[in-house]
Structure 1
Amino acid sequence: MAGKRFYFFHYLSYFFQQPKDQQQQQRQRSRRRKIFPLLAYLLLTLVTTSIVFIVSPVLRQSQAADFPVQHLSRAKEHLKDLAQQGKALFEAGRLVEAQEVLQSVSQQYQALGDKLYQAMTLSNLALVYQQRGMFTEATQAINNSLQLLGTQGSKQHLQILAQTLEIQGNLQLEQGQAQQALKSWQRTEAMYTQIGDRDRTGITRSRINQAQALQVLGFYRRALTLLTEVGQNLQSQPDSLTKAVELRSLGDALQLTGDLEQSRQVLQKSLESAQRLQSPQEISASLLSLGNTARIQQDNQNAIAFYQQAIAKTPSPLTKVQAQINLLSVLLTTQEWSTAQPLLAQIPTELDSLPVSQVAVYAKIHFAQSLIKQKNRECVGQCRAPRNGEAPTTDTRHSTPEKIAQILATAVKQAKALGDGRAESYAIGTLGRLYEQEKQWSYAQELTQQALVLAQAVNAPDITYNWHWQLGRLRKQQGDIPGAIAAYDAAVDELRSLRSDLVAVNRDVQFSFKESVEPVYRESVALLLQSQGGKLSEETLDKARQRIEALQLAQLDNFFREACLNVTKVVLDEVVDQDNPTAAIIYPIILLDQLQVIVKVPKQPLGHYSVNKSQTEVEDILGQLRQYLTEPDRMEEVQSLSEQVYSWLIQPIEPELQRSNVNTLVFVLDGALRSVPMAALYDGKQYLIEKYAVALNLGLQLQKPKPLAQEKLQVLAGGLVQPPVKFQRFPPLPEIKSEFNLIAKAGVSTTKLLDQDFTSKALFGKINSIPFNVVHLATHGQFSSRPEDTFVLATDGPINVTDFDLLLRRRDETRPEAVELLVLSACQTAAGDNRATLGLAGVAVRAGARSTLASLWNVGDRSTAILIGEFYRELVSSKVTKAEALRRAQVTLLQKYPNYSRPGYWAAYVLVGNWL
C-alpha cells in the first residue's frame, strides 16, 4: 500500500515539473495523455472505494448529549473522560475512532450496571452510526438507550431523555420518517418545558427541528409560522452567545424554507447580537450565513462583501476556508477574474492546514467542484475571451486535472479514514466527473459505479440520483444506449422518491435545480426519443411525455419550495377519449438539437414528429416573437415569426386534427414556449384562435374535470382602480368598473369589493362567508419564477401567492364547493422570465382552482373589459366550455374592434388548467 501511494504522488510531482523547452513540453503533454487515465486506477488501489453542491451533512439541529457533573468513582471518572473524548472525536468528524471509543465506554457502563450513563453513551453512539450511514445500528442503539431510560426520573434523567429523543428525531427524519420525527421533537419540547429549560435553548432547538419536519411533510405555512414564533421569542431575550447562535440557526432554517428576506433579517439580528458581545467567532459565522442568503437571492455584490468580511474577521480556519470557497464560486460566476485569482492560490494552502474532519473533507470536495465547473465553462466557451490588455480569465496552474485529482484523492482518503461513506461517495463521484470532463470514459464509469455503491450503502438517495445520472451520460458516450436509458430511469426514480426532500433543502447549496435536476429529465427524454430511430413505440412516447410531466411537477415544486400537487387527478387521455373527444393534446419538448412533439388525438394512439431546430434557434425565435407581440409597429414580423412556430407545432398534424373533428387544442408547453401565446400562431391567413379553442395544462394529469357551463356562476370580484401610494409604478385602471358592469350584464351573480373595500382582510372575510365558484380579481399583479415576486395588489398592499394560497385553502376547510375558475384580469408575467408562468399556473394549483384565466403581459384596461365581458356572456348564454368562451371573446376583439385587432390586445389571455 505504501509503495502504491508513493507511486501515485510520484507521478503527480512529475506532472508539475516545468518543461525546459518546447520539444520537452510536447513530450510531457504526450505522457500526460497516456498517464492521466492511470490516476483513477492508482486511486482505486489506494482507497477502496458529484457534481452536486455540498452542504454540512447534518441539516437538522441535534447535539451529542452532555455528561452531568457529579461525584463519580475513579473508574467512572475515567469513563466520563473517555466518553467526552468520544464526543470530541465525533464533533471533529473522526467517526471511526469515536465509534470505537463509545462502544467501549457503553460496554463498561453496562458492566458497572450504570443504566443512565450507558443510555447516554448509546444515544451518542447512535449519532455516530447515523453519520456513518449505519442506520440499522443507529436505530438499535437509540432504542436500547430509550429502553434503559424509561419515561420517569429526576430532572437530570429527563434532560438526558430529552437529548436522546432529539437524536432519535434526527435519525427518523434522515430515514424519511418525518411524521415520527415530528412527534419525537414535540415530546422533546414538552420535556424541556417540564424540566424548566432556563435559557430555552432546548425548546428553541426542538421547535426549529419541528419546522423542518413540517416542511418535509409539506406543511410549509405551519413550518414558517413556527419559525416566526421562534424568532419573536429569541429577539425578546437579552444578548448572549446562545441567542446569537440560535438566531443564526433560525436564519439558516428560514433560508432552507425559501423565505430569504426573513432569513436575511434574522441573520442580521444574529450578527448585531454577536457584534455587541464582541465575539469574532459568531460574527464571522453570521457573516458567512448572510453571504449564503445573499447568494441565493442572486445579490452577488452583497454576497461577495459578506464573504470577504467573514474571511477578514474569523479566528476559525474552517470558517475562513468555507467563506473563501463560497466567495470563489460567486466570483467565477460573475467572471471577476482578478479577485478570484488570489483565492485559487490561497485555498489549497488553507485546506492543507486544516485538521482532518468531516467538514474539512466536504470543503475539499466543494473546492474541487468549483474548479471542475470552471474548467467546464472554459471547455464549452462560456467564458469570454480576454479583451485587449486583459490578463487571461484564470491561472490554469491551479485547476489542472492533476491538481483537482490530487485534492479529491486526499478527500477520498480522509473520508475513508473518518468512516464517512457519504463524503467518500461525494469525493469519488466528483473524481468520476473530472474524468468524464477529460473524456476518459471507462475510468470515469468505474469511479462513478464505486460512488454509486457507496451512496446506496449509506442510504443517500440525494446523491445516488446524481451518480445514476452521471453513469447514464457515460454509458451514452460509450454507445451503451439501453444501459444509459436504465441509468436515467434509476435517476428519475430517485428524484421522484426525493420529491419532498428536494424542496425542503437549500436550493443553491444542496442543489441547483436548473443545473442538477432539470437536465436529468431533459437528457432522459432526448435519449428515449432519439435512441430507436424510425417510428417510436407508443410505450416509449408515453414514457417520454410522463417524464416531461414529472419535470413540470418538479419545476412547480421547486417554485413553491413545497411538494404542492397532492390533489385527486385524472389522466388527460381519459378526458379527451371520454369526456371531451373534440380536444387534442400537444406536447412540444425543447431538446438541445431538436424540437420534439408528441400528440394525443382523441381515440388514437400517440403520435410523434421532430423538427430539426436547435434549442438556441427555437429560443431566439420565441424571444423575438414575445417581444414584438407588444410592439404596435411589428405586425409583419409577428405574423412571420408566428408562422414559423405554426409550421413547427400545428402544420404537421393539421390533417389529422381535421379528420378527427378536433376543435380544442390543449398545449403542455415546455421552457420558452410558455412565454408565447399559442392563440397567436399564424398559418399565413388565419390565427390559430380563429380555428381552435386553446388551453394550457401542466401535464398528463389535472384535477377531476367538471364543465363550468353546467353550474350557475357565482363570482367573488375584487378590483383596484388606483394602486396604493407605494405602488405608483402601476398605472390606474379606470375601466375596472366597466368590467364589473359587463360581468353583471352577462347575468352573473357577483359580490364586489372595489377600491377601499378591496383589502386582504375583506377578501379573506368574504371568502370564508359567502358561496362562490369563481374568483375574479381586476387588479395589478405579477407572476415570476420567484414566489416572493408573485403577487396581486390590494388596497393595503400586495397579497403574495403563498398568502393567496392560504386564503383559499382556509375556505376549503369550511365550504365543500371548489373554485372552478380564478380570473386575474390585469396581472402580467415578469418580462424576460421564461419560468414566470409557473407562478401563473401555480396560483391555480395551490389555490385549489380547477383553472386560471390570466394575461402574459399588461393589456389596456378598456380592451380587457370588453374581452372579459364577452367571456362571461358566452359562458352564461351559450353554455360552452371555458376554452371556447375565451376563443369567442378573443375573436370578437380581433374581428369586431379594429382598434384592438392586434394580437397584443387579445392573445395575452391564456387559460391554464381544466378547459371544460
Structure 2
Amino acid sequence: MTILLVNKSIPAVANQSSLPESNRIVQQLSETSDLLQQGKNYYQNGQYAEAAKVWENTLNYYQEKKEVVSQVQVLNYLATVYKDLGKTQQSQTTIAESLNLLKTFKKQDNQSNLLLAQALNTQGTIQILQGQTETAIDTWKQAAAIYDRIGDKTGKLISQINQAQGLETLGQYRRAKTLLEELVAELQNQPDSLLKAQGLRSLGVALQTVGDLQESYTALEKSLVISQQFNSRSDVSAVLFSLGNIAKDLQKYDVALTDYQKAVSLSPEPQAKLEAQLNQFSLLVKLQRWEPAQALIPAIETNFALLSPSRPAIYAKINFAESLIVIERARDNLNAAKAAQLLAQAIQQAREIKDPRAEAYSLQQLGKLYQQNGQLTDAKKLTQQAQKIAQEMDAADLVARTAAQAGTIAQEQGDIKNAIAAYEIAFNYLQSLRSDLVAINADVQFDFRESIEPIYRDYVSLLLEKGDDQNNLKQARQVIEALQLAELDNYFKDACVDTHPVAIDQIDVQAAVIYPIILSDRLEVILSIPNQPLHHYSTQLSKKQVEATLKRLYSYVSRGYIREESFRLSQKVYQWLIAPAEAKLNSSKVTTLVFVLDGFLRNVPMAALHDGDRYLLEKYSVALSPGLRLFPQGLERKKLGVLAAGLAEARQGFSSLPAVTGEIKEVTAKVEAKVLLNQKFTRDSLKIALDNQPFPIVHLATHGQFSSNPKETFLLTWSDRISILDFDRLFQKRRLGILEPIELLVMSACQTAAGDNRATLGLAGFALRSGAKSTIASLWSVNDESTSNLMKEFYQQLSNPKLSKAEALRQAQLKIKANPAYEHPYFWAAFVLVGNWL
C-alpha cells in the first residue's frame, strides 16, 4: 500500500526548470539556510540524489558548528531522501541518529517536540518499508499525539492518514475506513482554509485507495469548493485531477476528460500539467479516440521539455511511452521508435540522478517494448538488468513484474524450464504482496485485471504444457487456488480472508475436485481424486470461443429457452469438463464433484451439464468452492434450528414474492425457529436475532443481487438493504467465536447480475463475509413457486443425518425436476451450494 509520505520536515516548493550542480552550491551559497532550501527544491523536483548531496554537506557544516537542533532537522530530511533512494538501511541509521540526538535535549519546547514528531513520522515510513507495519502504526500514533499536544493540525492529520494506510497494508480496511471517516468529521468542524482543503484532498485520495469512491468524491468536492473560495489555482487543479481519477474509476469517461482538461488549464506547474495531460492521453487511448489523442502529443512534449531530470519526470516518460505503444499496436503509426527513445532517455536520466527504482522501472518497460517487437535477446538483457536492480533494492512489486516479463521472453525463446522458474519467482513475490494488490496502487501502477491476473494464467499455462508431471500439477493447482483468492481480495478491496490449506483426502474420500481454468488458447482442467495422482486434460479453444459458448448456454438455461439448443451446448461443456474424467471418476466410486470454477464458468450451473443421456445432477452431488483453502472445515450435523427472514410484499421498487410466506412456514414447521417476516425483517432485527441465539441455519428469502461491483451486491430488507460490505458486521459474534458459526446460509430469491462475468464473486463474498461453512444461493431470478417447493424438499432431506448438504440439495432438485411443469433446468438448476458440502 502506498503510504502518504508527506513529511512536514520537507515542505512543498515550486519546481525550478534549471538547477545548478550541488558541488558548486557549496562554493556559491554562504548561508546554510539557502543550502537547506536548495535541497528542498531538489527533493520536491524528485531529484533525490542531488538533494542528498546538498543535505550531507549541510549536515557536515552543522556538525562542525555543533548546532544540534539544526543537525536533527537535516537528519530528518536525509532519512526521508535515503528512503526514497531505496537506501532503507542508511535511512534507518540516519533517523536513529536523529532520535538519539533528540534524547540529549534538556528542554522539551515546541521546537524540539516538532522535530521529534517529524522524526517519528519519517521512522514510521521506514518501518513499513521493512515490513514492520504494526510498529509503524504505533510510531505514527506517537507522532500524532505530539503534534496534537503542540497544536500542529497539519502534522497530526498527516500522521493519522499514514496510520489509516498502514491499517490498509495489514488488510484491516474496516478500521482504516473508520479512522478516515473520523478525520473527515474532524475537518468539517474546522474553519475553511487551504489547510482544510488540502486535508480533504488527501483524505479523498486515501478513500479512493480503500475503494470507497463515493466518500472520496464527497471529500474532494468539498476540497474543491474551499480551494476555489481561496482562489488557489494549484489547489483547484490538484483537486480536479483527483476528481478526474474518481470519474475514470466510475467509468464516467467524459467527466474525467473534462476534469483533466480543467486541471491542465489551471495548474501553474509543468509537472502537474503533465500528469493531468498524461492521464487524459491514456484515457483517450483506452477509449480509442485516436484523433484527439494524437492532437495532445505536441503539448505533452512541450511540458516534458520544461522539466529537469527527476523521478516524477521519468515516470511520466514511462507513462507516455506505454500509451504510445498501445497506439502503435492498434494503428501501426511508428510510435514504437518514439516510445523507445523516451524510455532510453528515462534510463539515462535515472542514472544521472542515481534513482535505482526509476532506472529499474524504465529498463523493464524498454525490455517489454523490445519483447513486443520480437527483439528477444535485447529484451532479455534489459529485463535481467531491471530485475537485478529490483532484487538489490528488495522492491517486491518490481521483482514480480520483471520476473514475469523474463518468463514471457524465455517462453518465446523456447526455454520452458527457465520460463517456469521465472514465473515461479513472480508468483512468490505476488503472494508476498497480497495486501498491496487489493487496491490500485498509484506507485506500483498494477491493475489487477490487466497486470496481475495474466501472470497467474500464463504461469498455469506453462506448468500444464506437457504431460502429467506431479510437481507441475501440484504447483498449478496452488496457483489456481491463489488466483481465486486474489480475485476475491481484489473484489472486496480487502486482504483479510483467512486461508487454511487442506488436502481433499482429509475432507471426503468420495469427492473429486475439478479445477477448470480458461487460458488464452485453451481450456485446461485439473482433476483431483483422493489417494490418486493429479490428472489434467485440455480442449484447444480460444478464450473467446469458450466464453461465447458459456454465455449462450447461460442465456438459454437461465431463461428457460430452446431446450434442443441448450442440450447441445450443455453436452459440449460436459465434453470439456467431465467426459475425459468419467472413467477415473467411476473407478474411484466418486459420489460428489466439487468445482473450483474460473471466469464465466461460475455463472453456469454444473448440475445442468448433460452427457447426452442424463444430467450431471442425476449422477453426482455437486458443490462449488472458491478454493479448498477457504472452505475446508466440515461440522458435525447438529439438531436443526433455523433463523428465517423473508420479504413477501413489494418493497423499494421490487416486486412481491407471494410464495415466501409459505416457504418460510414450511422451512420452520418442524424445527426450532425464529421468524422475521416483512415489517419485522430489518437489518437491525436480523443482527439482534443473530447475536442472541446460535441458530446453525440462517434462511433469507428476499430479493437480492450478486454483482461484480460490491456496492451493487445486496440483500433487500423491509426498510433498507444489507450490503455485502456490511455483511460481516451482522455475523461478527460468530466470526469471532463468541457464538457457534453458521453451518448453512440459504439465500432464496436472489440472482446474479445478468451478463456479469464476475458477479458470482458476490455470491462467494456473502458466504465468506458471514463465516458460514456452506451457502446456498441462486444463479438467476427463479420461479417463486418452484423455489418454495424446492426449499421445502431440501429441508426435509437435510433432516436425514445420513445425507450431506450437497446430497440433500441434489435430492430436492431431482424431486422438482420430476414434476413435468418444472422439468427444464431453469426451475431447479439455479441453486448452487458454495463451500463445505458435507
Smaller-chain TM-score bracket: over 0.9
Q: C-alpha offsets along residues 740-778 of structure 1, whole Å, 9 cap, x if unaligned?
A: 111012x23221111111111222222222222222211
Q: Which residue of 1 aligns with 2:603?
A: 675
Which of 387, 405, 415 is equivalent to 1:452? Answer: 387
1:242 paired to 2:195 = yes
Q: Aligned residue for 1:274?
A: 227
**Is residue 184 from structure 1 mapped to residue 106 from structure 2 by the alignment?**
no
1:236 Cα offset (Å): 2.1
Report what 2:668 is aligned to.
744
TM-score by length of 1: 0.87
Moved more, 860-869 or 58-67: 58-67
SS in 2 for 1:629: helix
Q: Which moved more, 1:693-702 or 1:735-744?
A: 693-702
- 2:584 corresponds in structure 1 to 656
Assess if the C-alpha contact under 8 Å between 2:172 and 2:496 holds in 1.
no
CA deviations on 1:620-676 (whole Å, 9 max, x unpaired) are: 110100111123331111111001111111112112212221111001111121110
Aligned to 1:431: 366
Whole-angstrom distance in 2 between the partners of 1:205 and 1:759: 39
Whole-angstrom CA distance in 2 between matches of 1:716 and 1:302:
46
Give the Å deviation of 1:736.
1.1
Of 338, 342, 348, the residue aligned with 1:407 is: 342
Q: Is the 8 A contact 1:65 1:164 kept in 2?
A: no
Please state whether the residue corresponding to 1:189 is helix, strand or coil: helix
Q: Is residue 829 of structure 2 the alignment partner of residue 911 of structure 1?
A: no
What is the 5 A alignment of 1:123-142? 123-142=76-95
Equivalent AA in structure 1 for residue 642 of structure 2: V
Does the 8 A contact of 1:787 with 1:801 survive in 2?
yes
Determine if contact 2:236/2:266 at 8 Å carries over to the other structure: yes
Distance 1:652 1:718 in 2: 43
1:257/1:506 contact within 8 Å kept: no
Query: Distance between the aligned counterparts of 1:76 and 1:713, measured in 2?
Result: 83
Which residue is equivalent to 1:419?
A: 354
Tell me: CA distance 1:744–1:58, structure 2 relative to 1, closer, same or farther (3 Å).
Answer: closer
**Range moving further from structure 2, 848-857 or 348-357:** 348-357
Structure 1 residue 810 displacement after superposition: 4.3
Q: For 1:192-207, what aligned pairs fall within 5 Å after superposition?
A: 192-197=147-152, 200-207=153-160
Structure 2 matches for 1:364-383, cutoff 5 A?
Answer: 364-378=317-331
Per the alignment, residue 854 of structure 1 pairs with 777
C-alpha contact 1:63 1:167 (8 A) present in aligned 2? no
Q: Deviations over 1:665-716 (max 9, x none)?
A: 00111112111010000111211111111001122424442245x2122222
Once the two structures are TM-superposed, the CA of residue 505 in structure 1 deviates from its matched residue by 4.3
1:536 maps to what in 2?
468
Structure 1 residues 414 and 450 mapped into 2: Cα distance closer, same or farther (>3 Å)?
Answer: same
Asked if 1:344 corresponds to 2:297, the answer is: yes
Task: Give the match for residue 770 of structure 1.
Answer: 693
Q: Give the CA RMSD over aligned residues.
A: 2.0
Residue segments in structure 1 that go unaligned for 5+ positions in a row = 1-54, 68-74, 380-395
Residue equivalent to 1:166: 121
SS at the partner of 1:751? strand
Question: How is 1:57-456 mapped onto 2 (pairs within 5 angstroms)?
Answer: 59-65=4-10, 78-150=31-103, 153-197=108-152, 200-378=153-331, 396=333, 399=335, 401-456=336-391
| 1:468 paired to 2:421 | no
Whether the 8 Å CA contact 2:606–2:616 is kept in 1: the answer is yes
Instruction: Determine the C-alpha separation between the residues in 2 that align with 1:819 and 1:365.
Output: 50
Q: Does 1:825 align with 2:825?
A: no
The CA deviation at 1:723 is: 4.6
Rounded Cα–Cα distance in structure 1 between residues aligned with 2:691 and 2:91: 48
Segment of structure 1 superposing worse, 366-375 or 554-563: 366-375
Structure 2 gap ranges (5+): 13-27
- 1:415 touches 1:423 (CA, 8 Å); kept in 2? yes
1:722 equivalent to 2:649? Answer yes
- 8 Å Cα contact 1:718/1:753 also seen in 2: yes
* Partners of 2:51 and 2:754 in 1: CA distance: 55
Q: What one-letter code is carried by the residue in structure 1 that aligns with 2:9?
A: A
| 8 Å Cα contact 2:558-2:830 kept in structure 1 | no
SS at 2:731 equivalent: helix
Deviation at 1:338, TM superposition (A): 2.6
Hey, what's the Cα distance between the residues in 1 that align with 2:419 and 2:632?
36
**1:216, 1:504 within 8 Å by CA — same for their partners in 2?**
no
- Post-superposition Cα deviations, 1:257-316, rounded to whole Å, max 9, x if no partner, equal 111111111111111111111211111110100111111222212211211221222222
Q: Structure 1 residues 196, 446: closer, same or farther in 2, change over 3 A?
A: same
Superposition deviation, residue 570 in structure 1: 4.3
Deviation per residue, 1:506-558 (Å, 9 max, x gap): 4898211111001101111111111xx3x322221111111111111111111
Is 1:783 equivalent to 2:706 in the alignment? Answer: yes
More displaced, 414-423 or 154-163? 414-423
Asked if 1 retains the 8 angstrom alpha-carbon contact of 2:52 and 2:78, the reply is yes
Sort the Cα spacing of 1:179 and 1:249 in 2 relative to 1 into closer, same or farther, 3 A. Answer: same
Deviations 1:454-495 (CA, angstroms, capped at 9, x unpaired):
222222111210110111111111111111111000000110
- Mapped contact 1:65–1:120 kept (Cα < 8 A): no
Letter in 2 for 1:538: Q
The aligned counterpart of 1:499 is 434
Is the 2:456–2:479 contact (alpha carbons within 8 Å) kept by the matching residues of 1?
Answer: yes
Rounded to whole Å, the distance in 2 between the matches of 1:816 and 1:121 is 55
1:688 aligns with 616
Write the letter of the residue equivalent to 1:431: L
2:33 counterpart SS class: helix
Q: SS of 1:485's equivalent?
A: helix
Alignment of 1:788-799 (within 5 A): 788-799=711-722
State the distance in 2 between where 1:514 and 1:813 align.
33
Aligned residues: 821
User: What is the distance in 1 between the residues matched to 2:227 and 2:630?
Assistant: 50
| Equivalent-residue separation in structure 2 for 1:58 and 1:353 (angstroms) | 29
* Distance of 1:707 and 1:141 partners within structure 2: 54
Task: State the alpha-carbon separation in 2 of the partners of residues 61 and 791 from structure 1.
Answer: 38
Summarize the alignment of residues 44-63 of structure 1 with structure 2, pairs less than 5 Å apart: 59-63=4-8
Q: Do residues 620 (structure 1) and 548 (structure 2) align?
A: yes
Question: How far apart in 2 are the matches of 1:213 and 1:707?
Answer: 36
Deviation at 1:373, TM superposition (A): 2.7
SS at match of 1:796: coil
Whole-angstrom distance in 2 between the partners of 1:546 and 1:376: 34
Q: Is the 8 A contact 2:4 2:158 kept in 1?
A: no
Residue 808 of structure 2 corresponds to which residue in structure 1? 885
Mapped contact 2:3–2:166 kept (Cα < 8 A): no
The one-letter amino acid paired with 1:909 is: F
State the match for 1:605 in structure 2: 533
Equivalent position amino acid for 1:544 in 2: A
Alpha-carbon spacing, 1:156–1:66, altered in 2? closer, same or farther (3 Å): farther
Does the 8 Å contact 2:734/2:741 carry over to 1? no
Other-structure match for 2:490: 558
Give the structure 1 partner of residue 23 of structure 2: none
- Give the distance between the partners of 1:889 and 1:785, measured in 2 at CA: 29
Greater displacement, 778-787 / 676-685: 778-787
Asked whether 1:759 is paired with 2:682, we answer yes
- State the one-letter code of the partner of 2:322: Q
Contact 1:64 1:127 in 2 (8 A): no
Q: SS at the partner of 1:604?
A: coil
Opposite residue 244 of structure 2, the aligned amino acid is G
Task: For 1:223, give the aligned amino acid.
Answer: A
More relative contact order, 1 or 2 (CA 8 Å, 6+ apart): 1
Structure-2 residue corresponding to 1:713: 640
Q: Is the 8 A contact 1:255 1:263 kept in 2?
A: yes
2:505 to 564, 567, 574: 574
1:293-343: per-residue Cα shift (whole Å, max 9, x none)? Answer: 111222212211211221222222222111111111111111222322211
Q: 1:383 matched to which residue of 2?
A: none
Provide the rounded CA distance (Å) in 1 between the counterparts of 2:29 and 2:677. 75
Q: How far apart are the structure 2 equivalents of 1:77 and 1:195? A: 33
By how many angstroms is 1:209 displaced?
0.7
- Secondary structure (helix, strand or coil) at the match of 1:752 reads strand
